[in-house]
A and B are shown apart, each in its own frame.
Chain A
Amino acid sequence: MIRHFMHTYLPFASNELKRNLAYKGAFYLFIVCDLMEVFISYYLWMAIYQSSGKGTLGGLSKNEMVVYVIMVFITSTIIMQSISRTVSRDVVKGNIAMTLIKPVDYRISLISGQVGNLIYHFIVPSLFVWIFLEVYKVTVLGEPLVSPGRAALYLISICLSFLIYVLFDFCFGMVAFFTTYIFGLSMAKEVLLSFLTGRLIPISFFPEAFRKVFEYLPFESMVYSPVMIYLGKYSVRETLFVIGRQAAWVIILYLLGSFIWKKVTNRLIVLGG
């Protein structure tokens, strides 16, 4: 059963991996752009700390903010593997038919493909940036290395983050079936996500009322939670709660996706041909 599952979906992952290796030129350009973003973010925060004159802001010390900025970059590079773009392209061009003629689940095949991307992005550039961060932490900031236990918890947490992100993005991509055009919506989603996941500003900087609302949304679980785990901001009990909440979101979004998929296939329209 599990073996058959792996047999069926592993090729989607390895295919994506190979594709990435074939197009690495374009990808390096993206990395450079993203790293620029990290530098800007870094200098911005340093300036904010400088001018505020305070040691900690939003519960993060200056050193912790350095780690936060870089870990947010690493986490989002690893987990944010968009499938809604593929979904909408498949729908608009009718390519979805070529998956539907095969004995595979469309959603799982897409997610498997993104596992391939995840592995690739985990290695390039994330692993290198991570090593750089730890070296920097020890040598320049004079902080201790991250403990193996915490690193392991972080890794578990980002696996769940990945699932939350892709499952959410699948639901989002389903909008494509109704609009057959989601470019504009995609832009709006990106902007919203950068706020709600804590990518732009740590969630702890938001007013209490907002944070209460965020707790009932899946976005915090995507980026903010694993990074806070990595920073050691949670007690053991809190960590377990946060990871449990992530698992709950995986289940909820999975079921939601199944529900939408059922609704959509009833009126699925394959264009062209």
Chain B
Amino acid sequence: MIEVKSISKEFISPKKYPGLKGAVKGLFSTEKVKKLAVDDISFSIADGEIVGYIGSNGAGKSTTIKMMTGILRPTRGECLIDGINPATDRMANAARIGVVFGQRTQLWWDLPLSESYTILKEIYNVSDEDYKKQLAFLNETLGLEEFFDKTVRTLSLGQRMRADLGAALIHNPKVLYLDEPTIGLDLVVKDKIREAIHEINQKYKTTVILTTHDIEDIEKLCSRIIVIDKGRKIYDGTLADLKETYGTTRKISIKTEDFPGIGKVRAALSSSLNNGNKEPVGDNELELNFNPDESRLEISFDKNHVEVSDVISSLIRIITVKDIKIQETELASIVKDIYNHNLGANGPEGGGR
């Protein structure tokens, strides 16, 4: 059980002035710049959850993770990881968590991977038996064998990331913090990492907190997401809820022959939809597009105003349908909207947990 209770982090750094003159001025100035990187964030996470912690660049994700792992001390507030406060009891907390910072490595650069693992085994006081078991499991899920004897320095980014994830799991931690674990990886490796995270969560009920800029990570792994922006929490809830609330646009894409033209289709569609309908569908609620190269017609609308089935049944009567596809709003575009503050302001805080 993780409880984050209104934590804030304020960075105070000396004010910098531009140019050489500025550098000299900076030497004698005591002016400070304050930056509130995390602003009064609270949430709690139950055991075994996988939570996506997302937000645009500089939103304060890494800063939050650093406070939760005991690297940084919160300016205000506290967090408790199974009752342990990492700010005051870093070592006790560290023994029970695993951490991957995508841009760094916790492995020993100059040693073969196998030796780094042996060192970690000693540091975390893992018994020979548990180590053997866990290593076999990690080998299977992450495919470490290929490069287990290579020096860490010589590993490719994808190999290193797998190695780092494995390293964070040697002691079978209760909580796993992943700060951009798929950054810069190819699709195959990304998938492998995701599978491994999923499997570990299933097998050991490990709690996972994941920050990422890759929407697919979220879609494939997280049942719950927390969105932060400029240090403040702006959404906390399930992925399904988020989609239900914000992702109501549907897009129907139809492959057709002998297309009669946008105007004609629109007119026919409107009259068909409004036939016996109390609330008439306005023209601007349907967005039509025709791609002549693929001879594909695309219609976007809000599913809360127009029934998907009505649109389809009407269309079948208007044009010859060769193939049909229905698409939900992509999570990526929902998230993009939240980042751009189109939705965040009046969206639900959902902080009831």
Contacts and interface: CB of A to CB of B under 8 A. Distances in A.
A22 B110 contact: yes
B123 A269 contact: no
Contact of A100 (B62, B71, B105, B108): B71
A105 B70 CA distance: 13
A265 interface: yes
B91 interface: yes
Contact of A7 (B72, B105, B122): B122
B95 interface: yes
A123 interface: no
Interface string B5-25: 000000101000000000000
A22 to B, nearest CB: 6
Given A19-B110, A94-B104, A272-B103, A266 B122 contact: no
| Contact-residue size bin, chain A (C-beta under 8 Å from the other chain) | 20 to 34
Given A7-B122, A18-B111, A102 B66 contact: no
Interface string A262-273: 000110111011
Given A11-B118, A19-B110, A269-B11, A97 B66 contact: yes
B123 to A, nearest CB: 5
Contacts of A23: 110
Contacts of B204: none
21 contacts: A7-B125, A8-B123, A10-B122, A12-B119, A18-B110, A19-B110, A95-B104, A97-B71, A97-B101, A98-B101, A100-B70, A100-B90, A102-B124, A103-B91, A103-B94, A103-B124, A105-B91, A269-B13, A269-B72, A273-B101, A273-B179
A268 B9 CA distance: 12
A56 to B, nearest CB: 48
Contacts of B119: 11-12, 15
B97 interface: yes
Interface residues of B, number: 33
A273 B103 contact: yes
Given A101-B97, A273-B103, A11 B122 contact: yes
A11 to B, nearest CB: 4
Contact of A266 (B73, B94, B125): B73
Contact of A101 (B73, B94, B111): B94
A4 interface: yes
B172 interface: no
Contacts of A272: 103
B99 interface: yes
Contacts of B123: 7-8, 11, 102-104
Contact of A98 (B72, B73, B105, B125): B105
B182 interface: no
Main secondary structure of the interface of A (DSSP, over half): helix
A98 to B, nearest CB: 4
B62 A8 contact: no
Contacts of A101: 69-71, 94, 97, 99, 106
Given A15-B111, A104-B91, A273 B122 contact: no
Contacts of A105: 91
Interface string B76-106: 0000000000000011101101010101111
Given A98-B104, A101-B99, A273-B62, A268 B122 contact: no
Nearest to A10: B122
A100 B94 contact: yes
A40 to B, nearest CB: 33
Nearest to B168: A101
Contacts of B70: 100-101
A111 to B, nearest CB: 15
A23 B153 CA distance: 14
A38 to B, nearest CB: 30
A98 B101 CA distance: 9
B110 A8 contact: no
A18 B108 CA distance: 11
Interface in B98-154: 99, 101, 103-106, 108, 110-111, 115, 118-120, 122-125
Contacts of A19: 110-111
Contacts of A104: 91, 94, 123
B104 A273 contact: yes
Pairs A-B, 9 closest by C-beta atoms? A11-B119, A103-B95, A103-B94, A101-B99, A98-B106, A100-B71, A103-B91, A19-B110, A7-B122
A8 B120 CA distance: 9
A10 B111 CA distance: 15
A137 B106 CA distance: 49
Contacts of A96: 71
A101 B86 CA distance: 10
A29 to B, nearest CB: 18
Contacts of A11: 118-119, 122-123
